[in-house]
Structure 1
Amino acid sequence: MEDSSAAMTVDARGLVTGWSDGARRLTGHAAEEVVGRPARDLLARGAPTRPLTRTDPAGTALSGTVVVRHRDGRPVGL
Structure 2
Amino acid sequence: MAAEQDDARAKVQRLLVTGDNRLKQGVKPEKVRESYMAALDAAREAGLEDAVQPLVELRLADLEKLEAEAPPPAPPAA
Rg larger in structure:
2
Tell me: higher relative CO, structure 1 or 2? Use CA pairs within 8 A at least 6 residues apart: 2
* TM-score greater than 0.5 by the shorter chain: no
TM-score range, shorter chain: under 0.3
Structure (1/2) with the larger helix percentage: 2
Return the TM-score normalized by structure 1.
0.21
Q: Which has more strand, going by share of residues? A: 1
